[in-house]
Amino acid sequence: MIIHHLEQYARFKARTLLPPLYDIPQRNGDNVKSGMKNERCDRRWRLAIPLLIFLMATSCARPTAPQVEPIHVVTPVYIVADIVKQIGGDRVDAQWWIEAGQSLDALEPTPERRSQLRNADIVITRGEMDHWTLENQNNEYDARRLIRLDRFLSSRDEDPRVPRYMWLNPAVVLELTDDLTERLCTLDPKNEHKFRANASTFRKKVLALCDNVRPTMDAARGEFLSLDPGFTPLPRYFSLIVANLEPIDVSDVSVYGVKTIKAAAKAAGARAVFVNNAMPGPLLREWENRLDLTVLPLDATGSSAPGSGRSTYLQVLEYDLGQLAAGMKASTTVPSTDAPATTPATTP
């Protein structure tokens, strides 16, 4: 039935597109009365119709390339998801739970997050800090899906009981880059060259940013003093000493809090104190006025908003390293309190 309709359509198209097949110029010696003209027309129709049917059938049934499902990756914060995108490109679907304007204290289990964990091809987690992300890891398949930042060599010295922003440590990020690249290559070997090239480019950019501020870090004499202990992985990459500071309520600029921070800054030789950039501007300025110290915000999560200026991991790292360098440079100007006191010389 289909062939019949195609044949009818082919005859119609032949009449409109091809020159009249019956209009054959006579040649000397043609015997029109013998029916040679009709025989030639039939022979041409028999040749033209199958060709037209074939062309129409192939043009109507062009196969479309099957869509390949992306690799689904779940991460705790936005800038870690950006690292995944930097390496995986359009072959990954990276999801995150926390970004600018949200606190990591809100990183609690929900039905939606548990569902994302179950359906993900790769899960990146802080480990014991987010113990609920480790549930149901009872078989080899689930274990191979999990990337624990607290198991990297560069993060083993961190106290698992204290929430840390481990991804701010460039060494942790470089380990994550290598681990993630290998897993992506295993899941999608056809794009291995692309993944490895992206990872190499990303590594070079991270190391270049760190090298730019290393001279300042090497010259720093004061200690790193932060009202948010989560930022300690960043200065530890440069072997900076982290000042001891007992926990205080940063939302209340109390006399006790000011006294405690000033004492810690004096003992650490620090002229700058670091805070989370989530701290409201008026509160930050009040701390700065009361402490008589430079107060510098650091970014822990980044923002997915394109116009934020810190919508990629590299932008966040560059910002934090600039703030860290400014604070440690200020600390190098602190006069030493260990020098012996001198008395003016007296003349006889």
Question: Phi, psi at residue 132, to the nearest 5°?
Answer: -65, -20
pLDDT digits (tens, 9 = 90+) for 50-77: 655 665 655 555 555 556 799 999 999 9
pLDDT digits (tens, 9 = 90+) for 120-167: 999 999 988 888 888 776 677 777 899 999 999 998 777 766 678 999
Cα dihedral 104, 308, 209, 272 in deg (nearest 10): -60
**What was the pLDDT predicted at 155?**
86
Residue 85 has pLDDT above 50, yes or no: yes
Residue 269 has pLDDT above 50, yes or no: yes
**pLDDT cut 90: percent of the chain above it:** 54
Per-range mean pLDDT, top range of 39-48, 80-89, 307-316: 80-89
**What was the pLDDT predicted at 336?**
45
Give me the domains of the chain, ranges plus CATH numbers.
71-206 (3.40.50.1980), 219-331 (3.40.50.1980)
**What was the pLDDT predicted at 194?**
97
Cβ atoms 51, 57 nearer than 8 A: no
User: What mean pLDDT is predicted for residues 272-281?
Assistant: 93
Residue 33 has pLDDT above 60, yes or no: no
Q: Letter for the amino acid at 129?
A: M
With bands split at pLDDT 50, 70 and 90, how would you rate the model's confidence at 341? very low
H or E segment and range at residue 147: strand 146-148
Q: Letter for the amino acid at 68?
A: V
**What was the pLDDT predicted at 312?**
95
**What was the pLDDT predicted at 343?**
36
Tell me the pLDDT of the chain averaged across its residues.
82
From CA 334, how far away is CA 317, in angstroms rounded? 26
With bands split at pLDDT 50, 70 and 90, how would you rate the model's confidence at 22? very low
Q: Collapsing DSSP states into helix, strand and coil, what is residue 207?
A: helix
**What was the pLDDT predicted at 138?**
66
User: What mean pLDDT is predicted for residues 253-281?
Assistant: 93
Query: If you compute the radius of gyration of the chain from its CA atoms, what whole number of angstroms results?
Result: 35
pLDDT digits (tens, 9 = 90+) for 295-305: 999 999 999 98
Cβ atoms 181, 87 nearer than 8 A: yes
With bands split at pLDDT 50, 70 and 90, how would you rate the model's confidence at 314? very high
pLDDT digits (tens, 9 = 90+) for 209-246: 999 999 999 998 889 999 999 999 999 999 999 999 98
Burial letters 309-339, b for 16+ CB under 10 A, else e? ebbbbbbbbbbbbebbbebbbbbeeeeeeee
From CA 127, how far away is CA 167, in angstroms rounded? 13
Cβ atoms 263, 234 nearer than 8 A: no
Residue 92 has pLDDT above 70, yes or no: yes
pLDDT digits (tens, 9 = 90+) for 157-201: 777 666 789 999 999 999 999 999 999 999 999 999 999 999 999
Cβ atoms 201, 108 nearer than 8 A: no
Per-residue tokens: 257: 């809090």
User: What mean pLDDT is predicted for residues 32-36?
Assistant: 50
Closest by alpha carbon to 206, among 169, 235, 180? 169
Closest by alpha carbon to 208, among 238, 181, 170, 235? 170
